[in-house]
Structure 1
Amino acid sequence: MATVQPEWRSPPAPSAQVQQRLPGLSVYNSLTRSKTPFVPIDPDGQKVGWYACGPTVYDDAHLGHARNYVSTDIIRRILTDYFRFHVTFVMNITDVDDKIILAARQQYLLSQWLARHTVVDQEMRDMTTQAFAAYSEKNLPLLGAEVLPGSYDQQASRAYGHVLQGESLDRQGPPGDKEAKIKMHLRTADSAAQALKATRSSTEVFAAKVSGVLLPYIDSLEKHTVSGKDHDIFTTLTKRYEQRFFDDMESLNVRTPDKVTRVTEYGQQIVDFVRAIEVNGYAYEHEGSVYYDTHAWESSGGVYARLEPWNRNDKELQQDGEGSLSTKTTGFKRSGADFALWKASKEGEPSWSSPWGEGRPGWHIECSAMASDILGKQFDIHSGGIDLAFPHHDNELAQSEAYWAHKGCESVQWVNYFLHMGHLSIQGSKMSKSLKNFTTVREAIAKGDFTPRGLRIVFLLGAWRDGLEITGEVVKAGKAWEDKLDNFFIKVRDIQRRRDEHGQALDGLANGLHGLSTNGSTNGSGAALDGALEDAKSKFHNALCDSFDTPTSMRVISDLITAYNSEKKVSNDALLLAAQWATDMVVMFGLDGDHQEARMGWSGLDIPEQAKLSVYPLAQLRDRVREQAKAGKVDFSELSESLGDKDTADVAGQPYANAHAAFQHKLAELASNPDTSPKDYLAACDNVRDTVLWNLDIYLEDRDGLPALVRPLSQSLREERANKESAAASKAAAKEKAKVDAAAAEQGKLDKGKLSHLELFRTSEYSAWDAEGMPTHDVEGKEVAKSRTKKLRKEWERQRKAHEGWLATQGP
């Protein structure tokens, strides 16, 4: 058997001509656990073969998947659109594995069972009660075997209340995946308990609430009725979720793979692949299943667990990789690290024919067979989430290199570069389907939690291989970056539009990016910007060459815009060049799914086309009114030439035409009133901005000495206004409260003055008083001491003043 080199071997040095053409890119390679110069296998240094582990399709894609596939798409775009490599991108669809089989079979059997129970009768309730008890006993053992739906709330609170309150199960250290899974089981059991306690319910509502406990229970009773040759039971589910996955990826502007492979379409090739490994001496059969022989592989000079050698004896990870086989006695294994290449059939599972009997592929072998079929015995890049490094990718490596290790053949390093994307976490726990602690992509987009662009920006601001937890601070940083680009591109487009309208009259200078003067010009840009764009390009390039360092790249774009915003004198040409480069880079990053070649910036920055015919003339008219009003006098006759009717192209443009017409009417009304002041005209202009156009989702940004900037109403502008209104309301409320408190205090003083100073001390504390009501003897008849009298006199004087004040309020 061929000997495999244990160390990573860099690709052969390219020719001097190819070396000169390569960009000097280094990537973090999980095989070396370091940054490694990227050299394609292709002798010309142009073609790149890439295999990416795709989704396991039995549920909708969630934000954790988005983190993986969007980050992968970003790197793919950098390689193709920036570095100009010709990438062949292959992705598999896992449509056969333990989770899919279980989910598909359970859903099929439950649907069959529900079809036989059209009403919520006693039989249905009894079966659900049994399912509830079985589910609770298996997944929530602290509840006890006799837990009943009626007492579930109390028992769950008593047994797991501390977990629900955010503590770990053993109250030792912070909570993690175990606690997330307990919460999931508690939610499932609680839903069923509430349904069982309800006296009336439709079948649909009842089934939805109890499906979590019924699915595994009915499956345990009826899975033997499912034929392994009836593949449609399983592919019906996977085809539906595969399509939904690609729909979600399209919504996130993720490019489709060049080639998609599916396990169910590779049955015979996988059998042949496993058989070849066995023939090569690196696999053995046991009771219809075939296992990879790690000892034989390592004895031949091969290396197992090259990616994460520290995990090779992690039984929990090994069991997770083996799925249902992990519960089987493993005493027959030649090594504890051996893993299944082919799994013997079990009841209720899909099966294919093989030399070892009916069975199905192991999880890891599918990728090896499909990648090798499309990309050959060696390719450049293999990618996936970091959780796939061990055992999945380590097992792929071992079995693939064993497959290609024919006698007399030169040893092959199957993959040169492994790229692993970091996890997305929620409250410290990995987002996953099994924990049901996820938000699906379509939910997040539909609810407005994220836009496709906003989500991609968040991922770009983080390193692709680092873990990421979406917090308020992370979202805020992404939004700030997006708003900065929005403002920049909107103002540049305004320059382009007005240049098209006025021709060379706008070839002057931009004033700190707040706009342009419509006349006059100045040569050159500010000295501070000399070379700024070229410097940004250089830094950007170096960042991408440094293992696709998008956080630094994003800062470079932001810093360049800051420089242009800060400089008071920027030539139009320099500004447009910078904007064009920024446009090219954000499009390259995939931040504009609707990009048009002739358009500066990205989509979403323009007001509706049907609005432009009316809104731009309205804004121009308003600018002239404001200019005259600020000067102290509005000349209606001079404005009258702009008051003609504005035609609208279609019905959709009518609201904007109405806004223009209403403003014209208001101006005529003001002009007819001799008492109208310039402030009245300014108020009318403000109303157009703050109410009329705002309600049409358009905002006019007034600028000193420049035309108002017409822009679509963004979420940030809405939030800014809401915050101002909230602050103003809070300030007004605080002022009103202070006023009320002051009035109450004043009234308190007055009320206190109702008591005459002559009666102040005539209490049971004393027994004799003088003519002014001052006490002379205490209750025991003793004369009041002089020191005490002195203090009482001060109180008496205060009360006298207060009483006189009160008397003054009572009128004559």
Structure 2
Amino acid sequence: MATAARTQPPWKEPQASSPPKLKVWNSLTRSKNDFVPVDPEGKVVKWYSCGPTVYDDAHLGHARNYVTIDILRRILSQYFGYDIQFVQNVTDVDDKIILRGRQQHLFAKFKAENPTISEDVLNTTINAFDAYVSKNLPLLQNVNIGTFNEESAKAYANVIQGKSVDGVGPPGDKEAKIRMHLRTASTAVTSLLAPSKSTPEDVEVFYAGAEDVLLPYLDALYGHSIDASDHSVFTTLTQKYEARFTQDMRNLNVLDPDVITRVTSYGDEIVTFVQKIMDNGFAYKTSDGSVYFDIEAFEQAGHHYARLEPWNRGDKNLQADGEGALATQKTSEKRSDSDFVLWKASKPGEPAWRSPWGPGRPGWHIECSVMASDVLKSQMDIHSGGIDLCFPHHDNELAQSEAFWAQKDGGHQWVNYFLHMGHLSISGSKMSKSLKNFTTIREALARGDWNARSLRIIFLLGGWHDGIEISPDLRKSGSSFESFVTNFFLKIRDLEVNPNIGSTGKEDEKVQKAFESAKEKVHSALADSFDTPTAMRAISSLITDYNTADKAGLSDAVSFDIARYVTRMVRIFGLDGSADPYNGGIGWSGIDIPSVSKEFVYAVSRERDEVRKHAIAGDLSGSVLESIIAQHKPAQQQDIDALPYAEVLSTFQDSLKSLASKQASTKEYLNLCDQLRDTHLWDLGIYLEDREGAPAMVRPVDAELQAARDHKEAIVRQKAEAKLKREREETEKNAKLAEQAKIDPKDMFRTEEYSAWDEEGLPTKDRDGAEVAKGRAKKLKKEWEKQKKLFEEHAKGAASS
């Protein structure tokens, strides 16, 4: 039977009733396969995505996974037209959650019972510190708190300098963990050595600094005392972070799942699922009340195990990650080291559900199998998640689910396509909660490091199943793409205000041909396993072709068609919030000035254009000026939101009249126009971009414009500061020279350095009575003559004044 298992095809290609629309990279086959939905009509796509484990805030590594999945989901539904049933779980019970929830519960209780920092609190914290260092920093055994920073700097000098522990190989996750532990211990030391611990603020600061060493210590002392039936100890934590995760995803413009499943709502279903696997002969119970999956029985029945990453099936470290706390629990009843747990017997301090095998809780992998099978039944099209979930999580999911759905006539294909998203890394290390080397999504958005669009562009520029490392070049590429598309949309929007009436249409055929070619390239790229980098390049090339075309020969209709297409594609990619890709709109958010401002801003822009044109031509007469102003008369009453913009128009007109009354110069009119652009409108978040031979383009002040202005102002400021420094140095130099000029040359060398002088005051002997050497005397004579000249000029100046 084992031989049959090895020769059986591991993946059965779904049969299509019509030509497939696309190919996808399938982790099951490690190749691109035609995408064929299970739905007989080929319309509905059933998709299960592994969701968050909610015990902490989501970081940018999570954003990489969920934003990228959202991109693929949007392309499938909004571009290829599939009706997607998207299910995502929330893992609200597992080893990490149990540990974190229990620790937070005990820590909160400890703080409540100790509102002041007593001697007992200090001793407990010192013991916690010692235990933490002993476990996590083995080179610092029995270290003294007062000398911790000095001793840790010596013991872990290589790690602190960015090297490996031994200073030979490159640093990795091991070194990242050591750096984390050093920070944690050092922070606790700072709290313990703080001079003041008496005020409520001091107490809060103390606990904040000592928290990470107290958490594991308090749990080791009291964790077993937690009531297993009181699930609120854990759900208090998970409900908080699930809500924060949901908000983070919405802030990143990630679509909500159609269905959300939570592990804690599936206790009975998980028990039933495990029992069915046992009934099918693929699981066994141990005497402690746990249930394990029997890999040997599964394979002997003709199934395949570890289909995603067969090369990792013997990796004990990965197996340990999957088993959690059970990995360190030795039992002679486990039939094979590779067998994995389906149901864990609960230990003291852990939540428990009733089962035929005794109080327990679900294993990590069984959760997704049960929830996905409950909603999507016996077969789904797509299963997605981060690439680190391939083994053991998804491989174990596959095995136990196919064991559950096993048929008498052989195997059962539970998932047709596995899609795994690549990692996001910083300095070569994967972002990880356990390593604490991450920036949370909300921190990144709050600081302005990223926004929903800029982060998504970065992911679109990289392959979805490839790793991405954030680098200055990558950020620059993303920023350039966003600015490039923004400027394109601004040009098209400007056509709506200033249409190209005199177009000859001679460029239409050429540009239309480039347009059709670009659409084909985008379609081919997306149909080739969602190749967004190639699609993005095709869109950029289309915009370049448009920008380089002779606009005098291009009709507005072609321009608008291209703009609507680009708008549709960037909206499909999720780059414009919830905007409908198919509503015929043009542009994305951030290119519009406020609606209430348009009447007045476009009016003052037109007047400014006319004033500049006539001023430069030298024919800005009073009558011309009156005709310009007469075109726009602000109403006497305005909505309060429109008032600032109406005032800009009226103030500009009043200033023009004032300049006319005093017969101002051309320069004064042009200065007024610059002031309107650079100050009055800029301060309202609006910029007028002057163009040769065309009206000024009205656009909002965005980050790119602000950065350019800040850079320009910085250069002006640096030049001014440099000039001021030169002037100050020159003044100091002149003042010093003036003081020097007051000294009589006969007195300038009468110092302790010499012991004899001639009648002119020149030294003849040094301090020891020796004759001054001829060379030295010659040099002193030159200095004396220079001083004599200064002194005489000073005397003349003083006499004349």
Provide the TM-score with structure 2 as the length reference. 0.89
Return the alpha-carbon distance in structure 1 between the equivalents of residues 144 and 781 of structure 2: 74
SS of the residue corresponding to residue 32 of structure 1 reads: coil
Q: Is the 8 A contact 2:64 2:423 kept in 1?
A: yes
The structure-2 alpha-carbon separation of the partners of 1:743 and 1:206, relative to structure 1 and needing over 3 Å to count, comes to closer
* Corresponding residue of 1:703: 691
* Corresponding residue of 1:195: 191
Q: CA deviation at 1:98?
A: 0.2
* Corresponding residue of 1:688: 676
Q: Is the 8 A contact 1:605 1:712 kept in 2?
A: yes
* Corresponding residue of 1:651: 640
Q: Is the 8 A contact 1:760 1:796 kept in 2?
A: no
Paired residue for 1:155, among 151, 158, 161?
Answer: 151
The answer as to 2:175 corresponding to 1:175 is no
Alignment of 1:341-420 (within 5 A): 341-406=342-407, 408-420=408-420
Return the alpha-carbon distance in structure 1 between the equivalents of residues 788 and 728 of structure 2: 23
Alignment of 1:738-753 (within 5 A): none
**Farther off after superposition, 195-204 or 252-261:** 195-204
Unmatched runs of 5 consecutive residues or more in structure 2 = none
The answer as to 2:608 corresponding to 1:619 is no
* Corresponding residue of 1:493: 493
Paired residue for 1:546, among 520, 524, 528?
Answer: 528
The structure-2 alpha-carbon separation of the partners of 1:124 and 1:599, relative to structure 1 and needing over 3 Å to count, comes to same
Q: CA deviation at 1:488?
A: 1.0
Q: CA deviation at 1:330?
A: 4.5
* Corresponding residue of 1:593: 577
SS of the residue corresponding to residue 171 of structure 1 reads: coil
* Corresponding residue of 1:245: 245
Q: Deviations over 1:408-444 (max 9, x none)?
A: 2342122121111011112221111111111111111
Q: CA deviation at 1:543?
A: 0.6
Return the alpha-carbon distance in structure 1 between the equivalents of residues 508 and 273 of structure 2: 66
The structure-2 alpha-carbon separation of the partners of 1:747 and 1:197, relative to structure 1 and needing over 3 Å to count, comes to closer
Alignment of 1:194-343 (within 5 A): 194-198=190-194, 199=196, 200-202=198-200, 203-286=203-286, 287-343=288-344
Return the alpha-carbon distance in structure 1 between the equivalents of residues 788 and 704 of structure 2: 58
* Corresponding residue of 2:430: 430
Return the alpha-carbon distance in structure 2 between the equivalents of residues 646 and 470 of structure 1: 52
Q: Deviations over 1:240-268 (max 9, x none)?
A: 21121111111111111111111111111
Q: Is the 8 A contact 1:61 1:441 kept in 2?
A: yes
Q: Is the 8 A contact 2:14 2:37 kept in 1?
A: no
Could you tell me which amino acid in structure 1 is paired with residue 628 of structure 2? L
Q: Deviations over 1:15-37 (max 9, x none)?
A: 3xx22xx32x1111111112222
* Corresponding residue of 1:116: 113
Alignment of 1:63-82 (within 5 A): 63-82=60-79
The structure-2 alpha-carbon separation of the partners of 1:746 and 1:319, relative to structure 1 and needing over 3 Å to count, comes to same
Q: Is the 8 A contact 1:611 1:653 kept in 2?
A: yes
* Corresponding residue of 1:517: none
Paired residue for 2:662, among 656, 659, 673?
Answer: 673
Q: Deviations over 1:287-311 (max 9, x none)?
A: 2111111122222332221111121
* Corresponding residue of 2:477: 477
* Corresponding residue of 1:7: 9
Q: CA deviation at 1:591?
A: 0.6
* Corresponding residue of 1:53: 50
* Corresponding residue of 1:133: 130
Q: Is the 8 A contact 2:10 2:304 kept in 1?
A: no
Return the alpha-carbon distance in structure 1 between the equivalents of residues 312 and 457 of structure 2: 33
SS of the residue corresponding to residue 651 of structure 1 reads: coil
Q: CA deviation at 1:157?
A: 2.2
Q: CA deviation at 1:196?
A: 1.8
* Corresponding residue of 2:465: 465
Q: CA deviation at 1:686?
A: 0.4
* Corresponding residue of 2:649: 660
Provide the TM-score with structure 1 as the length reference. 0.88
Return the alpha-carbon distance in structure 2 between the equivalents of residues 340 and 51 of structure 1: 22
Could you tell me which amino acid in structure 2 is paired with residue 654 of structure 1? L
Q: CA deviation at 1:747?
A: 10
Could you tell me which amino acid in structure 2 is paired with residue 60 of structure 1? D
Could you tell me which amino acid in structure 1 is paired with residue 701 of structure 2? L
Q: CA deviation at 1:167?
A: 2.1
Q: CA deviation at 1:121?
A: 2.4
* Corresponding residue of 2:97: 100
Q: CA deviation at 1:603?
A: 1.3
The answer as to 2:33 corresponding to 1:41 is no
Return the alpha-carbon distance in structure 2 between the equivalents of residues 649 and 360 of structure 1: 66
Return the alpha-carbon distance in structure 2 between the equivalents of residues 521 and 417 of structure 1: 51
Q: Deviations over 1:293-350 (max 9, x none)?
A: 1122222332221111121111111111110101111443322211111111101111
The structure-2 alpha-carbon separation of the partners of 1:679 and 1:415, relative to structure 1 and needing over 3 Å to count, comes to same
The answer as to 2:564 corresponding to 1:580 is yes
**Farther off after superposition, 692-701 or 153-162:** 153-162
Q: Deviations over 1:586-632 (max 9, x none)?
A: 01001111426353111121111222232222212212211121112
Return the alpha-carbon distance in structure 2 between the equivalents of residues 258 and 110 of structure 1: 37
**Farther off after superposition, 614-623 or 417-426:** 614-623
* Corresponding residue of 1:532: 514
Q: Is the 8 A contact 1:461 1:550 kept in 2?
A: yes
The structure-2 alpha-carbon separation of the partners of 1:756 and 1:244, relative to structure 1 and needing over 3 Å to count, comes to closer
Return the alpha-carbon distance in structure 2 between the equivalents of residues 216 and 110 of structure 1: 10
Aligned residues: 778
The structure-2 alpha-carbon separation of the partners of 1:750 and 1:651, relative to structure 1 and needing over 3 Å to count, comes to closer
SS of the residue corresponding to residue 630 of structure 1 reads: helix
Q: Percent identity?
A: 51
Q: CA deviation at 1:756?
A: 12
Return the alpha-carbon distance in structure 2 between the equivalents of residues 567 and 715 of structure 1: 28
Q: CA deviation at 1:745?
A: 9.3
SS of the residue corresponding to residue 489 of structure 1 reads: helix
Could you tell me which amino acid in structure 2 is paired with residue 673 of structure 1? K
**Farther off after superposition, 91-100 or 471-480:** 471-480
Return the alpha-carbon distance in structure 2 between the equivalents of residues 201 and 668 of structure 1: 65
Return the alpha-carbon distance in structure 2 between the equivalents of residues 212 and 584 of structure 1: 48
**Farther off after superposition, 154-163 or 718-727:** 154-163
Q: Is the 8 A contact 1:694 1:713 kept in 2?
A: yes
* Corresponding residue of 1:567: 549
**Farther off after superposition, 223-232 or 714-723:** 223-232
* Corresponding residue of 2:83: 86
Q: CA deviation at 1:118?
A: 2.3
The structure-2 alpha-carbon separation of the partners of 1:68 and 1:780, relative to structure 1 and needing over 3 Å to count, comes to closer
The structure-2 alpha-carbon separation of the partners of 1:802 and 1:30, relative to structure 1 and needing over 3 Å to count, comes to farther
SS of the residue corresponding to residue 699 of structure 2 reads: strand
Return the alpha-carbon distance in structure 2 between the equivalents of residues 401 and 210 of structure 1: 47
Return the alpha-carbon distance in structure 2 between the equivalents of residues 621 and 469 of structure 1: 50
Return the alpha-carbon distance in structure 2 between the equivalents of residues 671 and 623 of structure 1: 17
Q: CA deviation at 1:729?
A: 3.1
Q: Is the 8 A contact 1:751 1:806 kept in 2?
A: no
Return the alpha-carbon distance in structure 1 between the equivalents of residues 744 and 218 of structure 2: 87
**Farther off after superposition, 800-809 or 189-198:** 800-809
Return the alpha-carbon distance in structure 1 between the equivalents of residues 400 and 676 of structure 2: 70
The structure-2 alpha-carbon separation of the partners of 1:810 and 1:543, relative to structure 1 and needing over 3 Å to count, comes to farther
Could you tell me which amino acid in structure 2 is paired with residue 396 of structure 1? E
Q: Is the 8 A contact 1:756 1:799 kept in 2?
A: no
